[in-house]
Structure 1
Amino acid sequence: MGIELKEDTLAKLRQQLGREPTEAEVRAARDELLRRHYATMLATEMMMRDEAEEFSRRPPK
């Protein structure tokens, strides 16, 4: 899953604001998307690390 296209961000902001968004508003919206993606990646990495540690502690069958 990638970040949405700038055109999609613009369309969403136009609908939310009812006007043409400023460059600062577009940049802030895109920055928020990036922060959410990075947070999701971090959470996934932490869960996978925990799972790997748990798996490595299990005795072999």
Structure 2
Amino acid sequence: MKTFWHLLVVLLGALGLLVGFQAVQLLFFGVLSASGAGRVAGSALMAVLLLLLAANSLSKARSA
């Protein structure tokens, strides 16, 4: 049960980071890049960061 709550907190934190990052991304990259290439690159970077966060959380949950 402890693992479930740990993963839930991590997922909610990741969702909060994603929403915050998307807001900053729209403010800066959306203005700077008319073609949308900045938004695509930012989304890809955020996806990689979320995957790394999830992998790290799973490894910590397994070792606990």
Q: Normalising by the residue count of structure 1, what TM-score does the alignment of the two structures yield?
A: 0.59
CA 6–46 in structure 1, closer or farther in 2 if over 3 Å, else same: closer
- 1:27 paired with 2:37, answer no
**% of aligned pairs identical?**
9
Runs of 4+ aligned structure 1 residues displaced above 3 Å come to none
CA offset digits 1:2-54 (Å, max 9, x no partner): 1226861120325xxxx531312210111101110111011000011011xxx
Between Structure 1 and Structure 2, the one with more helix by share is 2
Residues 1:36 and 2:52 aligned together: no
Which one has the largest radius of gyration? Answer: 1
Is 1:13 matched up with 2:26? no
Q: Does 1 or 2 have the higher relative contact order (CA < 8 Å, sep 6+)?
A: 2
Q: Calculate the aligned-residue CA RMSD, in Å.
A: 2.3
TM-score by length of 2: 0.57
For structure 1, the residue ranges without an aligned partner over 5 or more in a row are 52-61
The number of aligned residues is: 47
